[in-house]
Amino acid sequence: MVEAVRQGPIKRRGLMLVLSSPSGAGKTTISRMLLEREADLMLSISVTTRPKRPKERDGVDYHFIDQAAFDRMVQGDELLEYANVFGNAYGTPRATVSQALDQGRDVLFDIDWQGTQQLTEKARDDLVSVFVLPPSTEELERRLRARAQDPEEVVRGRMAKAADEMSHWAEYDYVIVNTDIEASVAEVREVLHAERLKRERQKGLRDFVEVLRAGS
Ligand code: 5GP
């Protein structure tokens, strides 16, 4: 009995960690570093109709699909949320997420405010949302240009949209200003670690305490 208490990690339900930001605020880098450092965190790989960028890999960064396939997924209720962003369709496949949560694994979502609103409606208790802000407009623009993977008109379009996107900061549980990437990753990890300890997520607590009390 006592041995079981020592060994057994308390059974926990996974959480949905959402990161949103305007393009260029550093969210993708933060996501990548988080996934490297957090063994129990897996990325929700979205489907999108956007053309693949040169460095991207199908099935790793996104599942790149055409509009007809996207529409079929919507009709089949296969997407947990979906939205149109900059003229392209994006969506979160439902299947892997609920399985991961039930197994106590946390899932990271790199999605926009529209998707976050939908997840908030559908799964508030499982959701932890973080909005990443750039340190300044100048820095945002510099980062967008340094990326240089998109045509000029796309960059300009995204900068115009950034102000709109940032207006949604108040809909998030946590807000981080990404001045220093290491500091930002550390902050998101603090959020993740604290949220894992929420009493309601630790499904095995009741049994665990029962055992503790019986052994006293
Ligand atoms: P990008 O095309 O630069 O990879 O992403 C553009 C925007 O779409 C980003 O803000 C990203 O977070 C968002 N996005 C990516 N995947 C999804 C998704 O599955 N659902 C929603 N709602 N937004 C997404």
Domain ranges across the chain: 2-44+105-204
This model's pTM is above 0.95: no
Nearest Cα neighbor of 45 from 13, 91, 77 is: 91
Written as one string, the DSSP assignment of 136-170 is: -HHHHHHHHHHH--S-HHHHHHHHHHHHHHHTTGG
Cα gap 40→14, rounded to integer Å: 9
Cα gap 151→56, rounded to integer Å: 16
The predicted pLDDT at position 186 comes to 98
The residue whose CB lies within 8 Å of the most ligand 1 atoms, and thus the one to mutate among 52, 112, 166, is 112
Q: Alpha helix (H) ranges present in the chain?
A: 2-7, 27-37, 67-75, 94-102, 113-123, 137-147, 152-166, 181-196, 205-214
Q: Does the domain made of 2-44+105-204 have the CATH classification 2.40.30.10?
A: no
The predicted pLDDT at position 2 comes to 42
Q: Across-strand partners of 19?
A: 110, 130
Asked if residue 196 lies in contact with residue 40, where contact means CB atoms within 8 angstroms, the answer is no
Asked if residue 92 lies in contact with residue 81, where contact means CB atoms within 8 angstroms, the answer is yes
The predicted pLDDT at position 187 comes to 98
CB-ligand 1 contact for 90 (6 Å cutoff): yes
Locate 196 and state its tokens.
Answer: 């894992």
CB-ligand 1 contact for 24 (6 Å cutoff): no
CA atoms 20, 26, 28, 30: torsion sign: negative
Nearest-CA residue for atom 24 of ligand 1: 111
The predicted pLDDT at position 216 comes to 66
Kindly give the distance from the C-alpha atom of residue 111 to the centroid of ligand 1, in angstroms, as a whole number.
5
Asked if residue 131 lies in contact with residue 176, where contact means CB atoms within 8 angstroms, the answer is yes
The predicted pLDDT at position 6 comes to 37
The predicted pLDDT at position 152 comes to 83
The predicted pLDDT at position 77 comes to 96
Residue numbers in the chain where pLDDT is lower than 50? 1-8
The predicted pLDDT at position 147 comes to 65
